[in-house]
Amino acid sequence: MPKQVDHDARRTAIAQALWRVARVRGLEKVSLREVAAEAGISLGQLQHYFVNRQQLMVFAMEFMSRKNVERVTERLIAVDGTDHRARLRAIALEMLPIDEDARVGSLLNIDFLLEAARNDTLREHVRQRTAALRGLLEGQIALAVQAGDVSPDRDARAEAGLLIALADGLRTHFHLGTHTADEVVSLMDGHLDRLLGESGGRKPR
């Protein structure tokens, strides 16, 4: 091991170890000791970075959020800036369990939301993340309204709130086995068609 430890790299390795352990057993049952073992370091070394479980969980969620933002950004780069449907869909799909990475992330995200529902610090963290996502969606919908792709009757802020709640609910029901991944995408597409189909003379599916 080099004398000069790369602290960012180690933090990231610890977060990845947490995700690997949590993926199997659920976030709420993971101990710091197990995460240290999975990351191949001692408990003391881990506690040098994260003094308790909550600090580690917040870091791990932020790590996941950053990965999500990177994925959304990549998708948006590939999409024509004036194609508002494609842009909204790119963001919406990133909230759904459409591939293996997103499935693990979304299962752990459900665990995190649950723990946050009873923990003020985590709840505040979720609230900020949700507000940022809602802002992004709201801006995108407002642009689509300006371009005439979404009816001016629609309230961009309310629609953004609906989209996030819908994506979270669909995700939960995917993990419960109510809907397949394809059904989840199809239901979201139906909702987007309503949002985008009314004013443009586009035929709803």
Q: Which residues bind a copy of itself (CB under 8 A)?
A: 26, 28, 107, 110-111, 113-114, 116-118, 123, 126-127, 130-131, 153, 155, 158, 161-162, 164-170, 172-173, 175-179, 183, 186-187, 190-191, 194, 198, 204
Closest CA to 83 of 17, 158, 143, 135: 143
Q: Cα–Cα distance between 69 and 67 in angstroms, integer? A: 5
Query: Are the beta carbons of 18 and 37 closer than 8 angstroms?
Result: no
Decide whether 40 or 204 has the Cβ nearer to a copy of itself: 204
DSSP state of 177: T
CA angle 104, 56, 74 (to 5 degrees): 45
In angstroms, how far is the first alpha carbon of the chain from the final one? Answer: 58
- The two structure tokens encoding residue 106: 């979304």
Nearer to a copy of itself, 99 or 124 (CB): 124
Q: How far is the CB of 163 from a copy of itself (least distance, A)?
A: 9
Residue 19's identity, in one-letter code, is W
CB of 29 to a copy of itself, least distance (A): 8
With respect to a copy of itself, which residue has the nearer C-beta, 139 or 169? 169
Token pair listed for 78: 């590939």
Residue owning tokens 């709840």: 123
Q: Which is nearer to a copy of itself, 10 or 123 (CB)?
A: 123
Q: Identify the CA nearest to 30 among candidates 7, 46, 9, 45.
A: 46
Q: Closest CB to a copy of itself among 13 and 166? A: 166
Q: How far is the CB of 69 from a copy of itself (least distance, A)?
A: 19
